Amino acid sequence: MTAIIEVRNLAKTYVRQKKKAGLSGSLKGLFAREKIETKAVDNVSFSIKTGDIVGFLGPNGAGKTTTLKILAGILFPTAGGVSVDGYVPWERKNDFKREIGMVMGQKQQLLWDLPAADSFELLKEIYEIPERRYKKHLDRLIEALEVGDILNIQIRQLSLGQRMKMEIIAAILHEPKILFLDEPTLGLDVVSQKSIRDFFRQYNKEEKTTMLLTSHYMGDVKELCERVMIINNGKLVYDDSLDQLLKQHVHEKTIKVLFSQEVKKSLAEYGQTIKQNALSAEIAVPFEQVVLISSRILNELPVADITMSEPEAEEVIRELYRQQEYQPVK
């Protein structure tokens, strides 16, 4: 498939004025202002194919939301080139606006004092959606998200999960080709999170809508994204599959053992002991030795149960964030 989003050498620098404390600092600032430059996005390049769901990860302040806002035409870049479905986003052409939708978990677009049904009617007029197309698509979304019984309730009276479902409908009511999802499950309970993930997965399968997702919930990423990009300190430091990330950075498994009787001797000969008591233990073992070590444990110790696990994706990515020497993607 062809690329629907192209980003080349994108940069965004914020310039702020530094002010010293006190009256004297304010007076000095009138004549000699010191400026501080912060690179929110630093020479980032990537492309996304039509119909892909791509996770865009990074710690707070890494540059994720800034990048999304540039792609959506909300911010101007300092340098670099961007093409979104053939449009330059910050030119804000009406045809471009019809091709994108945006869901932001930290900001709502629906009117607080109106029921969602009224806001949907307003959006219909803004996007000039034909009546039959609007009715057909809205009915489908209402059924998929199971919100038919709350359409005429004020947004302020809905739960967070219900409000987010309405925000999603508002974002895709005009059937955009591209959907920017900025923390769409933020603050939701696990049931609501799963419901929304299931909806996005099914909607992408049926409509081939391209989605770029930022989230601090690895459940969102693991269930929706085959590919992830990681940004840290404004630089793109990883761009590949989540599975490949784990293969590159996970070099050991944890063997968890329950004993049928007390074992008091040290287990250091089997690997790095994470924790141990008389009736259980956890041991970190290199991948290539897992079969050998687990066989030894079964033969040499009174084992009641044994399991093996790898570090969670969250742990791997947290460690990657901490590695300041990690090289940016070329």
Q: How far apart are the first and last CA of the chain?
A: 22
What is the percent of the chain with per-residue pLDDT over 90, rounded to a whole number? 59
Question: Where do the DSSP E strands lie in 205-271?
Answer: 210-214, 227-232, 235-241, 252-259
pLDDT at 278 over 60: yes
pLDDT at 128 over 90: yes
Which token pair is 275? 């924790």
What would the pLDDT profile of 159-181 be if each residue is shown by its tens digit?
989 999 999 999 999 999 999 99
Contact at 8 Å (CB) between 257 and 281? yes
Q: What is the mean pLDDT of the chain?
A: 88
For the chain, list the domains and their CATH numbers.
Answer: 3-247 (3.40.50.300), 252-310 (3.30.70)
3 half-sphere exposure, CB direction, 13 A CA radius: 12
DSSP state of 329: P
pLDDT score of 22: 66
pLDDT band at 308 (very low <50, low <70, confident <90, very high): confident
pLDDT score of 186: 84
Rounded Cα distance, 211 and 79, in Å: 24
Contact at 8 Å (CB) between 166 and 173? no
The amino acid that residue 42 corresponds to is: D
**Burial class, 87, CB count within 10 angstroms (exposed 0-12 / middle 13-18 / buried 19+):** middle
Bridge partners of residue 46, in order along the sequence: 7
Rounded Cα distance, 93 and 81, in Å: 17
pLDDT band at 242 (very low <50, low <70, confident <90, very high): confident
pLDDT band at 330 (very low <50, low <70, confident <90, very high): low
pLDDT band at 218 (very low <50, low <70, confident <90, very high): confident
**Cα angle 131-137-138, degrees, rounded to a multiple of 5:** 85
CA-nearest of 10, 142, 144 to 83 is: 10
pLDDT band at 26 (very low <50, low <70, confident <90, very high): low
Bridge partners of residue 28, in order along the sequence: none
pLDDT band at 137 (very low <50, low <70, confident <90, very high): very high
pLDDT at 325 over 90: no
